[in-house]
Chains A and B, each alone.
Chain A
Amino acid sequence: MPIVEVNGVDKVYQQGDIEIHALKDIHLSIAPGSFAAIAGPSGSGKTTLLNMIGGLDLPDHGDVIVDGCHFSEMNQSQLAELRLNRIGFVFQSYNLIPVLSAVENVEYVMLLQGVEKVERRERAMAMLDEVGLSEKYHNRPSELSGGQQQRVAVARAIVSNPAIVLADEPTANLDSKTGEGLLKIMAAMNEKRNVTFIFSTHDKMVMDYAHRLVLLRDGMIADDEFK
């Protein structure tokens, strides 16, 4: 049974008088434990599709099913609950909370989940150890490099034991060496924890790492390659 199903999804944005068809009749099925990349040129609809899979945005037509949950049947509160417990996010610009330290940023999701304080701290530290930031628990984002911040973001995405992690151009702001280091961490987590990773990217290195490459063009799937 797929972990993600996208069935006939359309999305149209209105910009003034102009209608922009961001996604057109998308059908996509992703198996659990996948390490998949959605690639394509700017404006092809990668981020929009990722937002749909993450429940951050809803399609005009069609349905998205994640971990058996039909988004078309869920309200905003239920979607928030699903995101909290089953979906992790990694953003291009890290999006850490600037007033919290690395360990507190990782803890925060667990706070929302209602995990006990001691357990939160232990799991957050263990996760930071796993991404190689054991020396940086108490540093704030401004005291970390871009690569370190993105590793904190990955730790935050993984620590809540999600079914899928959605990473929107995670390496776009990193140099190639740092980007590759990050990809190795995510690949290891995919293997070790069987967490599904879905990237939106136009980074060749990410496409190379991915086990599946979905190519979008003008809001439609142009190619879907399993490696």
Chain B
Amino acid sequence: MELLLAWRNIWRNPRRTVIIMIAVIIGIWTMIALTSLMRGMVNDMFENGISTLTGDIKLYASGYHNDPSIEYRIDDPNSVMSEIAKALPYDSKYAARVRVNAIASNARHSIGLTLVGIDPDKEAGVSFIGNGVVGGRMISEDDNNAIVIGQALLEKFETRIGHKLILMSQDSQNEIASRAFKIVGVYRAKLQSTEKQYVFASKHSAQKMLGIGNGVSEISIVINDHEKYEQTAQNIRAILKNSDIEVYTWKDLLPMLKAYMEIFDGFVVLWYLVVFVAMAFGIVNTMLMAVFERMREFGLLKALGMKPSLILRSVLIESGIILIMGVIAGNLLAFGSVMMVAATGIDLSALASGFEYVGMSSAIYPEILLNDVLLANVVVLVLGLAVSTYPAVKASRITPVEAMAHT
């Protein structure tokens, strides 16, 4: 009967109830929808960071991280991989790469970039290049002088597939090594800067050019469940503790991204509180109006013997019902609007060059996290009830005599 009374009371003034509900709906909607948008942006930055040749975990020869030269290399990557295989989750993928700074030039242009020697078959699922070739063909393991370059570099060099590019770097003897590569394919990456930064040759041809035998600069590992990276890295470190190989996680290699993601979690809480404060004024105001309108009634209830705590509870039940209805509708609206844009993403290509500075793509795919949704709902319900306590206390404190005199 308490619920029935509360339900009927909230519809005594439908306009007022609808106004509070709209405030709650808009609040929840903005909390969830905008957070999912920002989550999508952060995830995009994370995925870009991981797939741009970083991976979840990376192995370097000792010294390479501080001085990324070919001098510091892993000479026998196969034995390293067989050693650590048991530490990797079953769905892990890995790729060994030669990576060296180089100068690329043709008849018209020259530019500093990174030459990456890869096992093409190993890169799928490890880095963007595995599935990134959009023109020509991917290099094969046996290619001796084939190279794949980014679309942006192709345009900058005013060249095309089939033409040659000269790559020059320092070999293992600290001599200049230079070689002409034929462009056999073009790749696209989410960021133009990536397309200009990396050129890919077969690992075999890069090793040959640099005279490093079977040596590689890095082994990159990607774990399907990214959350397991820390534990996996610890397990690998334990296995390799007596070797001269260093183990890094993406957090070590991308400290800015790590910091941004940590700040973002704090920002979500702050954002929820800001939205809630705006909403709270509406809730308190409207509930106060509802309470003042019914002061005589509260006085009557007290005269009949209703204790102040029960009056407080009855007002909170009314608030709770409105909040729950608003929260449900707000969630539906938020989920609906996010789902509408989740498949196609939000195209922000007009701002793409600005976004690249922070490692973001030109399209954002919003992502709803259960924790964000729960937090938004808890904030609105718990704090909503908390601010409703003020009008509820007002109602519970009035004396029957005062209330009966209230007009």
Contact = CB atoms under 8 A, between A and B. Distances in A.
Contacts of A91: 300, 404
A80 to B, nearest CB: 5
B401 A57 contact: yes
Contacts of A117: 1
Q: Main SS of the interface on chain B?
A: helix
Interface string A83-122: 1110101010001011110001001110110000100000
A107 B12 contact: no
Contacts of A100: 5, 8
A162 to B, nearest CB: 10
Interface in A44-92: 51, 54, 56-57, 76-77, 80-85, 87, 89, 91
Contacts of A83: 303-305
B99 interface: no
A9 B217 CA distance: 98
Nearest to B309: A77
Given A57-B401, A91-B300, A91-B404, A107 B307 contact: no
A56 B8 contact: no
Contacts of A54: 303
Nearest to A77: B307
A99 B9 CA distance: 7
Interface in B269-306: 296-297, 300, 302-306
Looking at A89, A91, A99, which has the most chain B CB atoms within 10 Å of its CB?
A99
A94 B2 CA distance: 21
B9 A80 contact: no
B307 A111 contact: no
A84 B307 CA distance: 9
Nearest to A94: B300
A84 B5 CA distance: 19
A98 B12 contact: yes
Contact of A89 (B2, B296, B303): B303
A95 B297 CA distance: 7
Contacts of A98: 12, 297
B400 interface: yes
A97 B401 contact: no
A98 B296 CA distance: 12
B292 to A, nearest CB: 16
Contacts of A76: 308
A15 to B, nearest CB: 12
A104 B305 CA distance: 17
B348 interface: no
Given A83-B304, A84-B304, A97 B5 contact: yes
A208 to B, nearest CB: 27
Nearest to B310: A112
Nearest to B302: A80
A155 to B, nearest CB: 13
B399 interface: yes
Interface of B: 1-2, 4-5, 8-9, 12, 296-297, 300, 302-308, 310, 399-401, 404
In the A-B complex, the 9 residue pairs with the closest CB atoms: A84-B305, A99-B8, A83-B305, A56-B400, A95-B300, A57-B401, A80-B305, A80-B307, A111-B1
14 contacts: A54-B303, A57-B399, A76-B308, A80-B305, A80-B308, A81-B307, A83-B304, A84-B304, A89-B304, A91-B404, A95-B300, A95-B404, A97-B5, A117-B1
Given A84-B306, A117-B1, 13 more contacts: A57-B400, A80-B307, A80-B308, A82-B305, A83-B303, A84-B304, A95-B296, A95-B404, A98-B12, A99-B5, A99-B12, A100-B5, A111-B1
